[in-house]
Amino acid sequence: MSLNLLCALFVGRGGDAPRYDSVPVTRFWKTEVELWPPTATISGVSSSEWPKVLSHSPWPQGTNLSVELPYVHPNYECGVHKDNKYILHAKAAGAGAAAAAQEGASTASLLNDDGATKEARYAFMSISNEVGLASAPQGWVRVDLWHDLDHVGENSDEVATTAEPYVAHYLTTRQFSEEVVLVPKTSLKDPITPLDGTSTSETHPSARVWLLGIFFDAPSNRSALAVLDGETMQREATIWLDHASAFSLHGSWQKPPE
């Protein structure tokens, strides 16, 4: 089983007006850790060899994005690798009936109702630029975590890897973006089908979110809340405030009571 760890590394920006010429560039890193060998049974796992790091690099490879504060669809937080379905059978083959049933139930809890794993294909975050410079964030970006990986598109809930490893939505001149909050379009009980039974595209279900992000408009000295469609990365609404909000203001999403 392997685990993907996603993070944006940066140094805090102190002061009233940060000097970006002295601030390190913030990059998005993807780290893959193999927790145990994919073909081994429980009794065959050697603690001296696993877990081990399989890859650790800025992502997407071959790009030079300056980004920060990554998030994934709330239904897919702490998700498991898409190969985890094989682990369920490998474990059961090497354990007693009672242990196999218990471990199978535990592993199955990491799967959606249709058997698809809860690994997010997309991550969303603020973006400053695409040339690797330290600068203020001026939009948001969706990154494809499966870009150019093998076997993408073979499952019913997947589409083949896209030509572009990311899709960015930029604000206009002298507008500066804040941290995003992701609101699912889907029910937590059904992470595949949107509540209204429709979808704006054929993207993986982990893209089916609304992005909520505050941004500051310097010319008017006002802030606004932007609402983007995670499947298209197009803005669907802008709610203007009559004042400027505090820098780094953002909220959280909580599902409505059932």
For position 230, what pLDDT does the model report?
Answer: 94
Q: Which residue has the higher pLDDT, 11 or 161?
A: 161
Q: What is the pLDDT of residues 76-124, one digit of tens each?
A: 887 665 554 434 333 334 444 334 334 443 444 444 444 444 678 899 9
Task: Give the burial string for 214-226 (b: 16+ CB within 10 Å, else e).
Answer: bbbbeeeeebbbb
Q: Does residue 257 surpass a pLDDT of 60?
A: yes
Can you give the length of the chain in residues?
258
Whether the pTM exceeds 0.95: the reply is: no
The percent of residues in the chain predicted with pLDDT above 90, rounded, is 34
Q: What is the pLDDT of residues 129-168, one digit of tens each?
A: 999 998 999 999 999 988 877 666 555 555 655 678 999 9
pLDDT band at 256 (very low <50, low <70, confident <90, very high): confident
For position 194, what pLDDT does the model report?
Answer: 44
Q: Does residue 40 surpass a pLDDT of 60?
A: no
Q: Does residue 221 surpass a pLDDT of 90?
A: yes
SS3 readout for the chain: CEEEEEEEECCCCCCCCCCHHHCCCCEEEEEEEECCCCCCCHHHCCCCCCCEEEEEEECCCCCCCEEEEEECCHHHCCCCCCCHHHHHHHHHHCCCHHHHHHHHHHHHCCECCCCCECCCCEEEEEEEECCCCCCCCCEEEEEECCCCCCCCCCCCCCCCCCCCCEEEEECCCCEEEEEEEEEECEECCEEEEECCCCCCCCCCHHHCEEEEEEEEECCCCEEEEEEEECCCCEEEEEEECCCCCCCCCCCCCCCCCC
Task: Give the burial string for 117-156 (b: 16+ CB within 10 Å, else e).
Answer: bbbbbbbbbbbbbeeeebebbbbbbbbbbbbeeeebeeee
Q: Does residue 192 surpass a pLDDT of 80?
A: no
For position 98, what pLDDT does the model report?
Answer: 39
For position 5, what pLDDT does the model report?
Answer: 57
User: C-alpha dihedral over 131, 55, 112, 160, to 10 degrees?
Assistant: 60
Q: Does residue 170 surpass a pLDDT of 70?
A: yes
Q: What is the pLDDT of residues 54-72, one digit of tens each?
A: 888 898 888 999 999 999 9
